[in-house]
Chain A
Amino acid sequence: MFPVLSTLLATLLVGTVLTFLSGKYARWTALLVSFAFLAEVGYLLMYFPGWPGLAGGVPQFADSESYAWIHLGWLQVNYTVGIDGISLVLIFLTAILQIATVVYSWEEQKKPAAWFGLLLLTCLGCVGVFVALDVLLFFLFWEAVLVPMFFIIGYWGGPRRRYAAIKFFVYTHVASIVMLVGLLALVFYSGATSFDYSSVFAAAPTLGVATQAFLFLSLFFGFGVKFPVVPFHTWLPDAHVEAPTGGSVLLAGLLLKLGGYGLIRWAVFVLPLGFHEVQPILFVIAFASIAWGSIVSLAQRDLKRLVAFSSINHMGIVLLAIALGSSLGLLAAVLLMFAHGVVSALLFMTAGSVHHTYGTRDIASIGGITPTTPTLSTMVMVGSLASLGLPWLISFPAEFTALLATWDGLAYWVLIPLGILVVTAAFYIWMMQRMLFGPPKGVPPTAHDLPWYETAGMGILAGAAILFGVLPFLLVNLITNSPIRGFAGL
């Protein structure tokens, strides 16, 4: 069979190298690569054979490939990749965000070849995480994402970029190591015959409940910092505030999704007994993240910090939906990851545009920008309304499903996320009132509306937010083509 997933990875790898080498034409190369990648993802979507189902209790994958890589006695590492609905929908998200980011940063002047190369490299790492079905391969891609993002923040970032980059790196790296411990222990203690996902999955049930719980927690620490969950979230606002716009977009849109994806694929599915044990802990952390993210957002004056804290809130809902451990909850979690990927990326783009049009992101020091920059203002509105869960925009079907699942699993506890919806609406609506409406304030005479490439970048995301908000079944049918279908729950 044609190795379509390896081709996918190779496209990005070769594309990255070419982009690094192509000097001032880097943006064209990057755009070409992005389109090629999108075409391949389109092929995947179109010819996706559906989820093959379980074989002997072990989930199978479509388009899977496996080649021997390191075989030394007990060390049986393979290059194994494959997809199901969950990974495919996130790869699709990657393709959308990649094109949008490349287009949005079309006029990047500071070392464009390196910039576009690193953008593609980040996407490569993410796609690798989504397709990898081997413990070591997964971890390598997981760590590979950190490096380009470290440089993106550290070189193209704001005034405190060094601090933010190092904080980001150390924080997530420490978490990764704990996760690696968990993964290796999972392989060794379960007596899996190789590092492959399927053999680990098949061997995991031999572990006792306590072992599973312990392993689950160590994996959760690694994935949870990436989410990020309260109280391990403080790297996120700093990283976002200092990151360049493109960096923020990929950070919020893709990197946070790695945590959710990893948790579902490597922890929830593999260690159901341990999951069941630690479920209450997950609930507490999820509720804390939901409430904390939203309440702290209300106090933010920096637009980027505001969006960053709202991400903590949304990813908290993702964690809650995962923690419910039901078919409906997992569906909601993946849907919400896609939705948040699109919407937060859009919002970070608007924050970037506000910054370089008005010289500040301080909500309180600008106002009434709508007459000067109507397109930007419209994009802020679309992003904010989508993020606060307005129907017909993408977050709503996801949040609705998540809340439905919460009522199913936890009954009246749903009041916490539901009540917080009002606070989320409040900080967005209040931000719009102060920044977009009212008499013009802090508008420099040179301010003009968005250049075409920024409009186009945001337009792609706004279009996706509306399309999948009106027709959510397009995504839902894809996502349920995975072990989520018929997931028996706990």
Chain B
Amino acid sequence: MVGLFGTRLQKLEWGGWLAVGFAGAAMALGVTIAIGEMLNPGAYVNAQYTWLHLAASPGPFPNGLSLVAGTLVDPLSALMLLVVTVVGFLVMLYSIGYMHHDRGLPRYYAELSLFLAAMTGLVLSNNLLEFFLFWELVGVCSYFLIGFYYEKPSAASAAKEAFLVTRVGDVLFLLGIFIYFFHYATTGPNGGWAANGFVFTNGTTPFLPAGAIGSSTLLTIAGLLILGGAAGKSAQFPLHVWLPDAMEGPTTVSALIHAATMVAAGVYLLAVTSVFIGFTSTDQLAIVAIGGFTAFFAATMAVVHPDIKRVIAYSTISQLGYMVMAVGAGFAMVGLFHLFTHAFFKALLFLAAGSVIHAVGTQDLFKMGGLRKPMRVTAAAFAIGGLALAGIPPFAGFWSKDDILSAVYSQLGSHPLYWPFFLLAFAAVFLTAYYIFRAWFLAFSGDHPRDPSLPHAHEGPWVMQVPLVILSGMALIAGLFIFLPNFQGLLLHGDGVAGIPPVYGSTDLLLSGVSVGLGLAGIGLAYQLWGNGRVYVLPADSPWQSVRRLLLNRYYMKVAYDWIGLRAVYGISRGADFVDRYVIDGTVHGFERIFGSLSDRLRAMQSGVVSDYAAYVIAGLVGVFALLLLVAPYLLAHFGGT
């Protein structure tokens, strides 16, 4: 699978089509695997190769240490594979039209292909280390693609920020892996986990028995570290700052990497960990808390933002928060189901936004307006995406988001602290519906653009419209998949692997009613304030102005991080450099001066013929014998030598 993408040079005009072709082939394989998994759920391990091997030796790995790379197809990975390859293919196709005018296309398609390969590898990993290897590779692809327009200082800066913030998460993740590796080194069949490459399962039984996690402090820490890694990749509070800035990349990249696939890898990591290793109850609470809080926190920032892409980016953070919360509550497959539906409707929203940006050349919502008439397909697509996001039945988002809310609701009894985060997530439903329809009304309603200088808008070529139509279809029906017995079996089996109770079918009607009501109310409010080309201006003396400023400034978190990075760390570093040059090296020079003056006197007494080099050698030899004969025995006598 991975080898399929390989590295390829695309210097020719049709290079993009080549990439699309490969992505299409990958999609065919991905869909085949997913269907196969639906018909015969289970875990399938394919050939693996040993990446690094140590024979049995004394120490922490008495049965040897193997680090391997292999593939594992199970319900979790099948679902992810479906998302990655289908959305990947559609985005590739869309790129042909969207990126037509850009320079550096070979680089673009090569990086995008590499990304797809890495993402496929990540999804199919059969152990945590291999997972990490691909995790980093998708990260670096994301870094390159955010910085695709590298001449723009803002793009270069955003790429740096994304790399470094996720790097913090990666380091935590790595430490989490260490703890698991050492804790479980000798657990499990066939000589223990270490000797077997730490693979999750050998195809029949998971290596670690489910529910055996207990409440060890060390494992709680490991779980929190994994959460840290996931928070970096999935842009959860407090490591969320990079994702809105990542919108500097091409919109296609935002759709594929920063909405549908890579940012979901954090959720996937949590799901895989919860199924194959397990979290302690403290970890679960922390995960629910981070997820629930982020869902609300990010939604508030989306409410005021004027940039169409960033509104959707905040929405992504918020939706990822829901998924994280579901996994934390113990329902990995529920989280992945939302990941599945979200991938389609969020990619749809981004591609529709890309279509708008392509047509009018700006991302500022307040300059747009009235685009409904010239861009009917896009307007409809954005509306379908918006309805799915807002959780209005029968669109995809309703089914999965409702599953999450009822899943968390069913666990409210397990800890009193679940309540506030559940309520926050519930409140975010209203905000979500409001902000996405605020964006829709601002862009599409009214008669004409608010900024008359915008170019005359028109739809993009067919390669851009086809993915929109397909994704619209998916946004409409993806949620209904749950009524397919085989698909449902996939979801149930995924949980069944580790004995986590499924909740499908127990959707609480009252809960659904309230959440749909909140969604409709949000849309209604958006219409009231922004519909028909209206622009709502907050009165200058309103007490809400300070809240608005706080939100527009992203709670000042980016300012604080920049301060830490630029002032604090760089300041320390400058100080250290000064010490290095003048204190440490200064001391060396002090010695040099002492010896220099000594040797000058020495030389003055001699004929002056002896060169520096010879003098050093002689001085050295004298020193050798002096030390050897005098100093060393003296010291040895004192320290009680032989």
Contacts and interface: CB of A to CB of B under 8 A. Distances in A.
Interface of A: 166, 169-171, 173-174, 176-178, 180-181, 184-185, 188-189, 206-208, 210-211, 213-214, 230-231, 233-234, 292, 295-300, 326-328, 331, 368, 370-371, 385, 390-392, 396-397, 400-401, 403-404, 407-408, 414-415, 418-419, 421-423, 425-426, 429-430, 432-433, 436-440, 472-473, 476-477, 480, 485-489
A298 B578 CA distance: 12
Interface centre among B55, B132, B163 (most CB of A within 10 A): B163
Interface in B49-77: 50-55, 57-61, 65
Contact of B569 (A214, A391, A423): A423
- Per CB-CB distance, the 7 closest pairs between chain A and chain B, nearest first, are A437-B156, A210-B639, A299-B577, A298-B573, A437-B150, A234-B585, A299-B573
Contacts of A432: 160
Contacts of A415: 175
Secondary structure call for the B interface = helix
Contacts of A178: 627
Contacts of A391: 132-133, 136-137
Nearest to A368: B151
B642 A211 contact: yes
Contacts of A171: 588
Given A296-B573, A439-B151, 13 more contacts: A174-B620, A177-B621, A211-B636, A211-B641, A230-B584, A231-B584, A295-B573, A296-B580, A391-B136, A429-B160, A437-B147, A437-B159, A486-B58
A404 B178 contact: yes
Contacts of B153: 437-439
Secondary structure call for the A interface = helix
B213 interface: no
Contact of A403 (B152, B174, B624): B174
Interface string B566-585: 00011011101100100011
Interface string B155-194: 1110110011001100100110011011000000000000
A449 B469 CA distance: 45
A473 B51 CA distance: 6
A392 B175 contact: no
A375 to B, nearest CB: 13
Given A214-B635, A299-B576, A433 B156 contact: yes
B580 A408 contact: no
A326 B59 contact: yes
Contacts of A419: 171
Interface centre among A214, A407, A414 (most CB of B within 10 A): A407
A419 B171 CA distance: 7
A326 to B, nearest CB: 6
Contacts of A396: 133, 136
Interface in B618-632: 620-621, 623-624, 627-628, 632
Given A234-B588, A425-B164, A429-B163, A392 B137 contact: yes
Given A208-B642, A391-B132, A407 B182 contact: yes
21 contacts: A170-B616, A185-B628, A185-B632, A206-B642, A208-B641, A211-B642, A234-B584, A296-B576, A328-B65, A390-B136, A400-B129, A400-B174, A422-B164, A422-B167, A422-B168, A437-B147, A437-B150, A439-B151, A440-B151, A480-B55, A485-B55
B642 A472 contact: no
Given A327-B59, A421-B167, A181 B628 contact: yes
A104 B462 CA distance: 50
A485 B59 CA distance: 12
A300 B574 CA distance: 8
A439 B620 CA distance: 54
Contact of A429 (B164, B171, B179, B587): B164
A213 to B, nearest CB: 8
Given A295-B572, A426-B565, A489 B151 contact: no
A289 to B, nearest CB: 12
A292 B576 contact: yes
Interface string B598-639: 000000000000001000100011011001100010011001
Interface centre among B57, B65, B565, B624 (most CB of A within 10 A): B57
A30 to B, nearest CB: 26
